[in-house]
Amino acid sequence: MSVDHEKYKALYEYQKDQFESESGRFNRLEDKAVKYLTSITVAVSAYVLLVRWCADKIIPPSGVLNWLVVISIVFTIVSMASSWSFIFRSIKLQDLMKMPVGEEVSELFHNNERATVYLSLSKRYAEAAKEKESQYNLKLKNVRKGYSEIVFSGWCFLISISLIFANVWLEG
């Protein structure tokens, strides 16, 4: 009975494409997380400069508006730290499954028929793609939480800035 090498080759190419697709998704999500991290870092830096500028006007808080400013600053800093935390967790170094190289692959090619080689490699690509998808889902969970925290931080930031400028203007 003849072995249909083309069928196994097609399976191998399909699994390889799935692995490359998962790798692409993973890399795009990683890039997005880095962009979020950059954005929140710039926002934190600008916010710290603003808070340092107005600190002598609001510390120690003396009135209701000063207390609202201080509370909004605390909420903003905590929410920014939380978003930073989620984004950092999403970009942490991970052990990724990769395709085997070296002697193991040489032995596989040397000791087996072409169909068996295709089948073996396609199974490894399938395992690697499944592992990559699992890691992608963990990363996605943290990026989504980080994004939600960034949105909340943005609102805290706007409220805090408004209160700071209102306080400076009223005491000006």
What average pLDDT does the segment 128-148 reach?
A: 92
pTM: 0.76
46: which 2 tokens?
């600008």
Least Cα distance to 43 among 150, 169, 171 occurs for 150
**For residue 1, pLDDT beyond 60:** no
Tens-place pLDDT, residues 54-112? 888 888 888 888 899 999 999 999 999 999 999 988 887 666 666 767 787 777 777 77
∠ Cα 53 59 65 (to 5°)? 95
Q: Work out the mean pLDDT of the chain and round it to a whole number.
A: 87
